[in-house]
């Protein structure tokens, strides 16, 4: 099984911004943590991060993976184009947020991508990604 793990805008700045919300570990740390767990599960994870909406959409359109984990960052709340790209991919997909978007600013409480995802995990830090790939590994 091949899982694409996508991270949207500003997630490359993990460890450098709002450590009280996002923690002190870096994006590189996140990738290594996921790779380690994926190896244990016998699955392959590919990683893609971009600060540009169109690049995220183009990567989803590649359709060369079995499942998807996505943290769209701020695009979660307003990108109907990203939502539509996710809808095109018919495999299982899990939306992940490091912070609890429902307990933050009002504009962050709504996700326009949730309705086209298999499930959503929010507020569990990096553990949310691990839970997502474990769930997806069980979908084989």
Residue 129 is among the residues annotated as catalytic for this protein: no
Q: Report whether 77 belongs to an annotated binding site.
A: yes
Measured CA to CA, the distance from residue 125 to residue 133 in angstroms comes to 14
Q: Report whether 98 belongs to an annotated binding site.
A: yes
Q: Which of 22, 52, 61, 129 does the annotation list as catalytic? A: 22
Q: Report whether 50 belongs to an annotated binding site.
A: no
Measured CA to CA, the distance from residue 87 to residue 114 in angstroms comes to 10
Q: Report whether 71 belongs to an annotated binding site.
A: yes
| Helices (H), ranges, 1-139 | 19-22, 27-41, 53-61, 80-88, 127-137
Q: Which of 61, 78, 80, 97 does the annotation list as catalytic? A: 97
- The two structure tokens encoding residue 29: 């740390």
What values do phi and psi take at 128, rounded to 5? -60, -40
Residue 80 is among the residues annotated as catalytic for this protein: no
Which residues participate in the annotated binding site for substrate?
71, 77, 84, 98-99, 108
Catalytic residues: 22, 97
Enumerate the known binding-site residues: 71, 77, 84, 98-99, 108
């Amino acid at each position: 099984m091949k899982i694409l793990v996508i991270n949207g805008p500003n997630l490359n700045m993990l460890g450098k911004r709002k450590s009280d919300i996002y923690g002190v570990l870096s994006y590189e740390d996140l990738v290594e943590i996921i790779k380690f767990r994926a190896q244990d599960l016998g699955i392959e994870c590919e990683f893609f991060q971009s600060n540009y909406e169109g690049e995220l959409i183009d990567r989803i359109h590649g359709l060369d993976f079995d499942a998807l984990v996505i943290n769209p960052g701020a695009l979660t709340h307003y990108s109907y184009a990203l939502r539509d790209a996710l809808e095109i991919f018919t495999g299982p997909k899990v939306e992940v947020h490091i912070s609890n978007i429902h307990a933050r600013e009002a504009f962050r409480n709504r996700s326009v991508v949730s309705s086209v995802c298999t499930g959503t995990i929010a507020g569990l830090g990096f553990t949310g990604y691990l839970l997502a790939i474990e769930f997806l590994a069980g979908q084989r």
